[in-house]
Amino acid sequence: MGMKTKLTKFGIYVFSISGFVVAFFVGMFIIEEIVVGDPCQYHPPINKKTNFVFDLFFAAHGGSNSHPEATLLNLIVTLSLGVLLGIIVSRFFIKIIFGKNKNEVSEVLDKFE
C-alpha cells in the first residue's frame, strides 16, 4: 500500500468522523432549537400537535416530562449525513493537497519518503 493510499484513507476517516461530530452538534444545538422551540409546549395542558415528520425525528414521552427528544432515526440520519459530508469534504481537500496530476502526486509523496 503506497503512501498516497494510506494518507487518503486516513483523511477520509478523519473527515468522516469530523463530519459526524459537526453534524451532531449542529443538529443538536441549532436545528433542534429551531424545530422544537419551547419544549414545554408539547406537554399538558398545551399539548401542541405535531406532524408525521416531526414524530419521526422527535419523540415526547413521560421520561422526559413530555419534552421532545431526538429518536434513533434522527441519530442515524445525522450520522449518515455527517459521514457523507465528511467524505465529500475529504475528497475535495485530497484533490487540493495532492493535485489532480499523477506526476504532482508522485513529487509530493517523494518528499515524504
- Kindly report which listed range (1-5, 16-20, 84-88, 108-112) carries the lowest average pLDDT score: 108-112
Interatomic CA distance for residues 108 and 4, integer angstroms: 9
Long-range contacts of 3-10 (CB under 8 A, 24+ apart): 3/109, 3/112, 3/113, 4/98, 4/105, 4/109, 7/94, 8/94
Q: Is residue 109 part of a domain?
A: no
Domain membership of residue 58 as a residue range? 10-36+44-98
Q: For residue range 22-33, what is the model confidence (pLDDT) as tens digits?
A: 998 998 888 888
Q: How many domains does the chain have?
A: 1
Q: Could you tell me the maximum CA-CA distance found in the chain, to the nearest angstrom?
A: 69
pTM for the model stands at 0.70
Q: Report which of 13, 40, 6, 12 is spatially closest to residue 112, judged by C-alpha positions.
A: 6
Q: Is residue 110 part of a domain?
A: no
Q: For residue range 24-69, what is the model confidence (pLDDT) as tens digits?
A: 899 888 888 888 888 888 877 777 888 898 889 988 877 777 888 8
Interatomic CA distance for residues 69 and 39, integer angstroms: 9
Residue 33 C-alpha cell reads as: 432549537
Note the pLDDT of residue 88: 84
